[in-house]
């Protein structure tokens, strides 16, 4: 009777005590590791944490530079934070790292943009700051913050070898008014299903949203693409179903399977010349519940990512999103 009541009211049955203990133990250690090593409560006294904030801030500025009509003096607080970090002795010792150089370059392009318009930003970014960045970070560094390409050039390598194809895929945030046909979307999603998954369980699902009101409400919850909502008419939502996982060791496997499927999906969309941008889904339980309820998606499913899709404009504009140098992430362990 008690088991039936719990199952009906709470949605689960009693598990053996040792399994409950293992679940709590493993999630507890997951939580402790995240609290210890992430920047949720961590102080800015370690390089990796500082670098993560630099990248977050400079990439936000890059995205702001995509607009044809940029707001002057936008991102003031981010500029001040990046400058503060880049002047720290701990960071200066790592000045040859790719992401620090790219951050400095974004800031110098920001400065030049305002200088060309004769708009003063001296109260938070002056000429001495500009020269400091050029001298300390940008010697012999060749890059840019924003790339513009004609449509034919952007898709020139979709049938090339994988190296050229994969390097040609970029996140596009601005779309034309012409909707992508459902047939084309189905072709891309079907091809994406070739993604590997744990024990071939194929846990991922894709939802296509085309109702403009639903699209806007979902994007408002996501928060990262609100500046492009007027041109986004279609989004894909990728989920992974928890019901397909059975061991305590698989407690995070749906993120792995979902991440693999997502990358394959982005390649497939690019192959079919569908412009797209994956939107970070780092949301809380309440945000996720709101979306699942609104879209009538089972609560057994975990949202992995939202992907804005559309037909690109004749001129494609995207951020450089500088890749790390290989020595920063590849090591041989002897």
- At residue 140, the pLDDT reads 82
Task: Answer with the residue of higher pLDDT: 224 or 3.
Answer: 224
Domain boundaries in the chain? 2-37, 47-144, 148-318
- At residue 50, the pLDDT reads 96
Q: Is residue 113 scored above 90 in pLDDT?
A: yes
Residue ranges of E strands in the chain: 146-150, 204-209, 234-241, 275-279, 301-310, 315-319
Which residues does 38 contact at the CB level (< 8 Å), separation at least 6?
Answer: none
Quick one: what percent of the chain has pLDDT higher than 70?
96
- At residue 43, the pLDDT reads 81
What tens digit of pLDDT does each residue of 115-153 get? 999 999 999 999 999 999 999 999 888 888 999 999 999
Q: Is residue 302 scored above 60 in pLDDT?
A: yes
Alpha carbon of 69 to those of 64, 148, 331: distances in Å? 10, 15, 43
Distance CA 105, CA 143 (A): 8
Banded model confidence at residue 69, pLDDT cuts 50, 70, 90: confident
pTM: 0.92
pLDDT averaged over every residue in the chain: 94
Banded model confidence at residue 245, pLDDT cuts 50, 70, 90: very high
Burial of residue 231 (number of CB atoms within 10 Å: 0-12, 13-18, 19+): middle
Q: What 3-state DSSP class applies to 235?
A: strand
Q: Give backbone dihedrals phi and psi of 310, rounded to 5 degrees, phi first.
A: 175, 175
Banded model confidence at residue 8, pLDDT cuts 50, 70, 90: low
- At residue 5, the pLDDT reads 55
Phi-psi region of 240 (alpha: psi -120 to 50; beta: other; left: phi over 0): beta
Q: Is residue 274 scored above 90 in pLDDT?
A: yes
Q: Is residue 6 scored above 90 in pLDDT?
A: no
Characterize the bridge pairing of strands 204-209 and 234-241: antiparallel
Q: Is residue 279 scored above 80 in pLDDT?
A: yes
- At residue 11, the pLDDT reads 58
Banded model confidence at residue 15, pLDDT cuts 50, 70, 90: low
Distance CA 118, CA 185 (A): 46
- Radius of gyration of the chain measured on its C-alpha atoms: 23
- At residue 100, the pLDDT reads 97
Quick one: what percent of the chain has pLDDT higher than 90?
88
- At residue 3, the pLDDT reads 58
Q: Is residue 300 scored above 90 in pLDDT?
A: yes
Polymer length in residues for the chain: 334
What tens digit of pLDDT does each residue of 172-210 get? 999 999 999 999 999 999 999 999 999 999 999 999 999
CATH architecture of 148-318: 3-Layer(aba) Sandwich (3.40)
- At residue 13, the pLDDT reads 55
- At residue 18, the pLDDT reads 83
Mean pLDDT, rounded, for 52-73 = 94
């Amino acid at each position: 009777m008690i088991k039936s009541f719990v199952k009906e009211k709470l949605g689960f049955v009693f598990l053996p005590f040792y399994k409950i203990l293992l679940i709590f133990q493993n999630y507890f250690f997951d939580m402790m590791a995240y609290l210890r090593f992430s920047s949720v409560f961590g102080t800015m006294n370690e390089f990796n944490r500082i670098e993560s904030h630099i990248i977050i801030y400079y990439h936000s500025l890059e995205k702001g530079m995509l607009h044809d009509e940029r707001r002057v003096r936008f991102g003031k607080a981010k500029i001040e934070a990046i400058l503060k970090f880049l002047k720290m002795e701990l960071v200066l010792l790592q000045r040859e790292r790719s992401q620090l150089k790219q951050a400095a370059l974004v800031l110098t392009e920001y400065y030049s943009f305002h200088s060309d318009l004769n708009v003063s930003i001296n109260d938070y970014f002056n000429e001495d700051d500009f020269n400091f960045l050029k001298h300390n970070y940008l010697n012999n560094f060749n890059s840019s913050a924003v790339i513009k390409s004609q449509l034919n050039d952007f898709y020139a390598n979709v049938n090339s070898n994988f190296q050229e194809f994969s390097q040609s895929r970029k996140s596009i945030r601005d779309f034309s008014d012409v909707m992508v046909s459902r047939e084309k979307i189905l072709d891309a999603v079907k091809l994406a299903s070739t993604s590997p998954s744990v024990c071939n369980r194929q846990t991922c699902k894709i939802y296509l949203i085309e109702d403009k009101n639903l699209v806007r409400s979902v994007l408002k919850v996501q928060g990262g693409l609100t500046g492009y909502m007027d041109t986004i008419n279609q989004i894909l939502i990728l989920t992974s179903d928890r019901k397909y996982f059975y061991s305590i060791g698989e407690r995070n496997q749906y993120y792995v399977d979902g991440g693999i499927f997502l990358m394959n999906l982005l390649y497939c969309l690019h192959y079919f010349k569908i412009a797209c941008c994956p939107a970070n889904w780092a949301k809380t339980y309440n945000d996720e519940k709101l979306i699942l309820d609104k879209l009538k998606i089972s609560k057994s499913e975990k949202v992995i990512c939202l992907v804005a899709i559309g037909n690109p404009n004749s001129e494609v504009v995207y951020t450089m999103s500088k890749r790390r140098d290989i020595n920063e992430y590849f090591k041989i362990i002897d």
